[in-house]
Amino acid sequence: MLNGFLVHLSMNMWEDWPSASEAARLAEGAKAWMQDNIARMPRYFAQRRWSDHRKFDDALWHELLPKLAEAGVNAIFFDLADGYRWQSHPELALPEAWTPKQLKAELDLCRSYGITPYPKINFSSTHDAWLRDFSRMLSTRPYYIACRELIDEAMEAFDAPRYFHLGMDEEGEGQQSGWQYAVYRQGDLWWHDLEFLLDIVRKTGARPWMWSDKAWHCGIGEFKAHVPIDVIQNNWIYTGDFEGEFAQKVLPLFRQLDEAGYTQVPTGSNWSSYKNYRKLVDYCMKNISGERLLGFMNAPWYATTEDNRDVQEEAVRQIAEAGIPCRNHPSRNI
């Protein structure tokens, strides 16, 4: 079973993060999600504002990696964004971005611990600030060309990985209503662009992967009509309250996706609750068919930086404590 971990090489995902006061407002609003770690939320919202420098500590990462392996992690998804120095689009990279040589060394290091690395590029318009000018050129010919070039380059850099994560979460008016510049797709255009991206991934030989929250809003019927069964699904829930209104909206989708025949990797986090990850694993082990439960993923969402050491190490402990029935495997067996 896949036992995954999500790492962000950059936090430049959010298009419009203008002020500390806005970060404070969002932290206050997030209390509806919180049960037991409200105190650190202002830190999170402040850290995800745009930065001209990479928010990633290589030294901390090298400390975490063997701990992740010991906890049973056998797959790591690297959200590359502008934390990688793209050869096809060098204008996207931050000054400290990993070069192709550095990335190769890091991927080889992961493999030395029995962990398979996979690429993730988030093409959701709510999480694509790292694309710079292209993020304001959705669904245009230059945008499509750039998407293809980036996916092809990532596939080559990761040595033809088995899976490729396209993101595609949280795109819509509700996620961008407070932004000074909002741009998003909806209706048939959203489905068109998703299928375009899925086809690019398939042509590289990889299996496409996406976040599932589109189905929260459109319903499983419309979702199934547009999303082929080969696309691996990451439905996610980060709250520790599985009885609350949000959970009752999200949790049924795990069973609906299973009944529709999708392969799933449920995703939890210590972002909003210390209690979430173990509860997620227990719930999904009972509610998803074994043949369609590929594994689980933990996504801390905080930057991999020294001031977030507590969050990252806590996430590692939660993976170990969740008791997911797997250990490290050779890369091609995951």
The domain that holds 31 is classified in CATH as: 3.20.20.80
* Residue 66: domain span: 2-333
What is the four-CA torsion angle of 67, 73, 79, 84, rounded to 10 degrees?
Answer: 50
How many domains is the chain partitioned into structurally?
Answer: 1
How does pLDDT run along the chain (334 residues), one tens digit per residue? Answer: 999 999 999 999 987 665 677 777 777 777 766 667 767 888 888 888 899 999 999 999 999 999 999 999 999 999 999 999 999 999 999 999 999 999 999 999 999 999 999 999 999 999 999 999 999 999 999 999 999 999 999 999 999 999 999 999 999 998 888 788 899 999 999 999 999 999 999 999 999 999 999 999 999 999 999 999 999 999 999 999 999 889 999 999 999 999 999 999 999 999 988 899 999 999 999 999 999 999 999 999 999 999 999 999 999 999 999 988 864 444 434 5
45 within 8 A of 86, measured Cβ to Cβ: no
Residue 126 CB contacts under 8 Å (≥ 6 apart), including other chains: 13, 14, 15, 169, 170, 171, 172, 175, 176, 184
pLDDT of amino acid 127: 96
pLDDT of amino acid 235: 98
**Model pTM score:** 0.94
The DSSP bridge partners found for residue 77 are 6, 118
Structure tokens at 233: 């699904």
pLDDT of amino acid 42: 80
pLDDT of amino acid 180: 84
pLDDT of amino acid 334: 56
pLDDT of amino acid 41: 80
